Chain A
Amino acid sequence: MADHKFLVVDDSLTMRRIVVNALKSLGYEQVVEAQDGKDAVGKLMTEGASFLITDWNMPEMNGLDLTKWVRTNSQFEHLPILMITTRGNKDDVIEAMKARVNNYIVKPFTPQGLKEKIDQILKVTETKA
Chain B
Amino acid sequence: MRLDLTILAPYLGFLGQGAALTAVICLLSLAGAVVLGMLVAIARTSQTVWIRRLAFIYVDVFRNIPFIVQLFFFYYGLPEIGIYIDAITTGVIALSIAGGAYASDAIRSGILAIDNGILEAAEVSGLSKRVTFTRIVLPIALRTSVRPLGSVLINMILTSSILSTITVNELTGQAKIVASDTFRPFEVYAVLLVVYAALTWLVSIGISRLHKRLNRDLASEAA
Indicate whether A and B interact. no
